[in-house]
């Protein structure tokens, strides 16, 4: 059973790439912008490379999927702020910017969970959305308050990562990768 | 277990908003039109407000999710007709209009089920599609027969809602929110 | 239980159509091209017709879903090559072409599994991706090597179908349609 769950590198890289670009793809489609990775393939190669590194590095860890959980929290925070930034840059209203931040951060992970056949838990998803909203709102609020772009982005990152890290630490949102 | 299923307002509002705008977002992307809620944020605020009202009102009911089931039927019928109308307005052929109506009506609820971790049942989905097709076809048929826009839209709404309401009444399509 | 799994023609045709056009829809959206079936409704009618034929033909077979598995393998191979071809035609870089081939081939089946409430298995999806990558890479490689379009496309089809057929033959990727 556990052996069947072991993926080959191709499947793993595919899932990793979808996770990495899924949210941003959705954001660009909704905003009517050209999809970022069709313009600049460096994003694709980065995802492919990062997935391969994770695949081999994770062999050393107790569980490959556990390692992904933390990578995921970093990605969530980064994407929440990045998605909000891009929407703001394109002149979208504040509420649309926050929603784009949340979508950029959550859609990739959601697609991965669905494709990997693990059931996205209610609570799991909820904390995701809450963490992303915290990050997006912190960033936008500080920008409106006149703070520097970099400072606002870092504070937004910290807010999103903080909420998610608490959830992981308290075991609230461990995806049920054991079931199938 | 049941307690874990209880959502906080943020998670609930997020799910409610995705359900409300998911189908129309998909329709606009496919038709190449600007996504409606990026142009007019009133749609977003309506979804957020309606989700909050539902959240608090549902506390009084036996089950929050049961209340959603009926809101869902109204939304299904409204979106089936609205999606068909918009596609017709943009000059799409009849078969594309019907498919857009079905998609507008079903994609939001499908996304919610997936995000909430409830398994969308085969039969459940099927009745959804059948109800939406009934509404879209009724609307288009009456329009082609020369009837007034409002009359055709109301008849389409009644057709979709009627099929779905029967399914709920006969217990055919209760989503298995109890499981997880 | 089994009886509840039996679909009516409308639900079946809807699922069949989504499976047929889902991947190509996604590809066109990402590439910024008009969605193919909104331009040419013959694609929609073909899917609807093929679904109806499958529905009635499958009555004669032991299991309707088993028959879909093989149709699926043909579709996977065709869509992997077709998606790669269209992206190449639009001038996308090689890595984007391969990803578009994989997406065209897998997104439709993924949507069907989700809508039908069958859990997409990890291993199942993985073989899908691997088969599609094999097909897309074979096609692109032979094109770059200067081979004829038709020869390259047929070789790509054979590569994708071969990988998937092996997986089916060895029982690696039978979707768990029995569970729910």
> What residue spans define the domains of chain A?
2-169
Smallest CA-to-CA distance from C154 within C168, C167, C142, C169 is with C142
Yes or no: say if C107 and C113 are a contact pair by the CB < 8 Å rule.
no
C-alpha distance from B163 to closest chain C C-alpha (Å): 13
Q: How far apart are CA B164 and CA B152, in angstroms?
A: 19
Q: Which chain C residues are within 8 Å of A10, Cβ to Cβ?
A: 126, 129-130, 133
**pTM of this prediction?**
0.79
CB distance A119–B17 less than 8 Å?
Answer: no
In chain A, which residues touch B (CB < 8 A)? 29-32, 92-93, 95-96, 99, 102, 110, 114, 119-127, 129-130, 133
Q: Which chain C residues are within 8 Å of B127, Cβ to Cβ?
A: 11
For residue B41, the tally of other CB atoms under 10 A from its CB is 16
Residues C119-144 pLDDT 10s: 554 445 567 888 999 999 999 999 99
Q: How far apart are CA A139 and CA A155, in angstroms?
A: 7
CA-atom Rg of chain B in angstroms: 16
Q: Can you give the pLDDT at residue C7?
A: 59
Residues B154-171 pLDDT 10s: 999 999 999 988 877 776
Smallest CA-to-CA distance from C116 within C61, C62, C179 is with C179
- How many residues are recorded in chain B? 180
Residues C66-125 pLDDT 10s: 666 777 788 889 999 999 999 999 989 999 999 999 889 888 877 777 766 665 544 455
**Mean local confidence (pLDDT), C27-42:** 91
State the alpha helices, DSSP H only, in chain B: 2-5, 9-31, 36-39, 42-58, 64-89, 94-115, 122-144, 149-169
Q: Can you give the pLDDT at residue B1?
A: 37
CB distance A95–B41 less than 8 Å?
Answer: yes
Q: Can you give the pLDDT at residue B85?
A: 94
Report the residue of chain C nearest B180, measured CA to CA: C180
Q: How far apart are CA C122 and CA C124, in angstroms?
A: 5
Please give the ipTM for the structure prediction: 0.73
- Reply yes or no on whether the pLDDT at B61 is more than 90: no
C-alpha distance from B20 to closest chain A C-alpha (Å): 13
Q: Which chain C residues are within 8 Å of B86, Cβ to Cβ?
A: none
Yes or no: say if A64 and A55 are a contact pair by the CB < 8 Å rule.
yes
């Amino acid at each position: 059973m556990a052996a069947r769950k072991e993926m080959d590198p191709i499947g793993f890289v595919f899932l990793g790439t979808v996770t990495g670009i899924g949210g941003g793809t959705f954001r660009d489609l909704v905003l009517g912008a050209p999809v970022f990775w069709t313009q600049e393939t460096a994003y694709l190669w980065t995802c492919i490379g990062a997935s391969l590194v994770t695949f081999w590095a994770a062999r050393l860890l107790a569980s490959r999927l556990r390692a992904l959980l933390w990578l995921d929290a970093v990605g969530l925070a980064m994407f929440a702020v990045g998605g909000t930034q891009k929407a703001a840059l394109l002149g979208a209203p504040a509420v649309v910017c926050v929603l784009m931040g949340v979508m950029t951060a959550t859609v990739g992970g959601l697609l991965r969970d669905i494709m990997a056949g693990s059931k996205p838990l209610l609570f799991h998803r909820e904390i995701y959305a809450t963490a992303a909203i915290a990050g997006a709102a912190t960033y936008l609020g500080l920008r409106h308050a006149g703070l520097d772009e970099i400072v606002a982005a870092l504070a937004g990152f910290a807010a999103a990562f903080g909420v998610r890290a608490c959830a992981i630490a308290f075991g609230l949102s461990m995806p049920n990768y054991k079931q199938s």
